[in-house]
Amino acid sequence: MPGHCFGHLSLKNMETVYLNGEFIDAADAKVSVFDRGFLFGDSVYEVIPFYQGRGFRLDEHLHRLAYSLRAIQINLEEDWSALLHELVRRNGGGNVSVYLQITRGAAEYRNHNYDDSMSPTVFACCRAIRDIYQDGADAVQGITAMVTADLRWHRCDIKSTGLLPNILVLQQARQMGVDEALMIRDGFLTEGASCNLFVVDKGVIYTPKRSSEILGGTTRQLILELAAESGIPTQEVDIDYDRLVDADEVWISSSTRGVVPVLKIDDRAIADGRKGPLWARMFELFTHYQQQLMKG
């Protein structure tokens, strides 16, 4: 919903949003109180970084968006790439993340049932971001994390706006004085509040297996692709708590943060508590990939 993004907008240079076919001022964007995204979280979303006006892994984000729309049976055909590029252009180009949300639409009154007569609500806005790859590896600060129970529903593969469990565990992490919450279910790690998880042991990169219990991150997939191209072994496996805290390195990944080292979990240092050599290599591979994209 619009409120999700307005708190991060700089109205000085990020004032244009997209809502249901129109590019308008953020202050003028309104949706019905009967919109199902507002009432039920009946909606999906994507967050896509753009560097110098170019979408980063845009096709992969739009492929996942199509998957989420199919999964909740919203039928909508749009030229998403053209729409998002135009929104970025109207907000000055540069380095921004675009938040795109599609709800099932609004009915005349609150009702759990729905039919195909409703018109989906489409909203998108921009937020300025840093070009983390231009800043370089030395500028990346490692983070701290805690492990907590994964209380989310069992269709985490759908990128839905039903994020209350994520919000609560991330707030729990903040109250504990750490940066990220890593979630565990049935004895195995799943992912972070808004990121995927990797551990490194003896030169091998491990990440939880794809399933309905985790979101298939576009940056997660890029890590696996870059590792394969560079001859770095990877495995998708179940990861328990001991394997996590005893790892040589631990990383998280997301579209806007890239790949970030985790230096401490539950007050326990990971290895020597410093950024690891394989993370540095992966950041180098990310930087090269992003710079080639900018030239393309």
28 band by pLDDT with thresholds 50, 70 and 90: very high
CB-based contact 125:17 (threshold 8 Å) = yes
Task: Please tell me whether residues 186 and 46 are part of one structural domain.
Answer: no
Q: What is the mean pLDDT of residues 3-7?
A: 36
Tens digits of residue pLDDT in 67-108: 999 999 999 999 999 999 999 999 999 999 999 999 999 999
At 97, which CATH number?
Answer: 3.30.470.10
Q: In the numeric block, which tokens belong to residue 194?
A: 């808004």
Bin 61: left if φ > 0, else alpha if -120 < ψ < 50, else beta.
Answer: alpha
What does the pLDDT average to over 152-162? 97
Specify the pLDDT at position 295: 83
Burial tier of 56 (Cβ tally within 10 Å: 0-12, 13-18, 19+): buried
In which domain, by residue range, is 205 found? Answer: 137-295
Strand-pair category, 96-103 with 43-51? antiparallel
One domain for residues 107 and 192? no
Task: Please name the residues in contact with 242: beta carbons below 8 A apart, sequence gap of 6 or more.
Answer: none
Whether the per-residue pLDDT at 9 is higher than 90: the answer is no
Q: Do both 55 and 193 map to the same domain?
A: no
Range 100-118 average pLDDT: 93
Domain final residue, candidates 77, 104, 129? 129
Burial of 77 (0-12, 13-18, 19+ CB in 10 A): exposed
Assign 293 a pLDDT band (cuts: 50, 70, 90).
confident
Same domain flag for 155 and 287: yes
pLDDT of residue 157: 97
Q: Clarify whether residues 155 and 115 are in a common domain.
A: no
Asked if the model's pLDDT at residue 13 lies above 90, the reply is no
Active site residues: 159
- Please, what's the b/e burial string for 122-140 (b: 16 or more CB within 10 A of its CB; e: otherwise)? bbbbbbebeebbeeebeeb
Residues 74 and 144 in one domain: no
209 and 277 belong to one structural domain: yes
User: Do 166 and 43 sit in the same domain of this protein?
Assistant: no
Instruction: Identify whether residues 102 and 249 lie together within a single domain.
Output: no
Here the CATH number for the domain that contains residue 180 is 3.20.10.10
What does the pLDDT average to over 205-229?
A: 97
Residue 203 CA to residue 181 CA, distance in Å, equals 25
Instruction: Look at residues 92, 112, 129 and tell me which one is the last residue of a structural domain.
Output: 129
For residues 158 and 65, membership in a common domain is answered with no
Per-residue confidence at 10, pLDDT binned at 50, 70, 90? Answer: very low
pLDDT for residue 276 is more than 70: yes
pLDDT in tens, 232-244: 999 999 999 999 9
Whether 76 and 18 share a structural domain: yes
Q: What percent of the chain has pLDDT over 90?
A: 90
Interval 244-267: pLDDT, tens = 999 999 999 999 999 999 999 999
Residue 195 sits in the same domain as residue 231: yes
pLDDT at residue 161 is higher than 90: yes
* Rounded distance between C-alpha atoms, residue 131 and residue 282, angstroms: 16
Domain count, the chain: 2
Q: Please report the pLDDT score of residue 14 as a whole number.
A: 67
Give the confidence band of 116 by pLDDT, cuts at 50, 70, 90: confident
Residue 103: exposure state from Cβ atoms within 10 A (0-12, 13-18, ≥19): buried
Q: What is the mean pLDDT of residues 210-224?
A: 96
Is the CA virtual torsion 3, 5, 10, 11 positive or negative? negative
Of 129, 146, 178, which one is at a domain's C-terminal end? 129
